[in-house]
Amino acid sequence: MKSLLLGLLISSVAMAAELKVGDSAPLFKAKTFANEDFDLAARKGQWTVLYFYPKSETPGCTKQACTFRDNIKAIRDQGADVFGISADDVAAQAKFHEHHKLNFTILADPDMSVIKMYGSKMPLLGMSKRWTFLLDPELKIRYIDHSVDPVKDAGKMADLLKEMKK
C-alpha cells in the first residue's frame, strides 16, 4: 500500500513537470458557467490566459477572480481573454460567476480531466493547484506560473502580454 501511494505521488509530480514553456497546450472541451460548450481549439489565433484555481467562493479564489474581473480591460486591450477553471460543477461556477459579477468565462471540470491534463491536480485532493498558463495564438504555452499570487495574477498577465507582444 505504501509503495502504491508513493507511486501515485511520484506520477502526480511527474505529470506536473511534463508541460513546459514552448509546448503545445493540451486541447480540451469543457462546460462554461452558463452550461455552454467551450473548446480550447476555437481560441487559435488569440492569446489566452488559462488559470486554474482550487475552489469557487474560497477567499484566495474569490480575490483572484475579482482581480481578473477588475483588470479584464488591460488584458483584452492586449488581444487576450481570460478563462478560469476549477473542479467545481456548472451550478457552483454559475453561482460564483453571478455572485461576483465576473466579466470573463469560468469553466467547470468536475471530473478533473482538464486539471489532470495540465498537471495541476493536488495529490489526494479533488482540487486544482493555483496555476496560470499564458497561451499564444498558436496555442503554445508561453508562460507558466506555479507560484501564483491571487491578488497580483491579473496585473502580471497584462504586463506579460504587453511585453510579449512588443
**What is the set of active-site residues?**
61
Alpha helices in the chain (DSSP H): 2-18, 59-76, 90-99, 113-117, 153-164
Distance CA 21, CA 62 (A): 27
110: exposed, middle or buried (Cβ count in 10 Å: 0-12, 13-18, 19+): middle
Residues 40, 114: contact at Cβ < 8 Å?
no
Could you tell me which residues come within 8 angstroms of residue 82 by beta carbon, excluding any fewer than 6 positions away?
A: 49, 51, 68, 72, 75, 104, 105, 154, 157
Look-up of cell digits 497546450: 25
Neighbours of 91 (CB within 10 A): 12
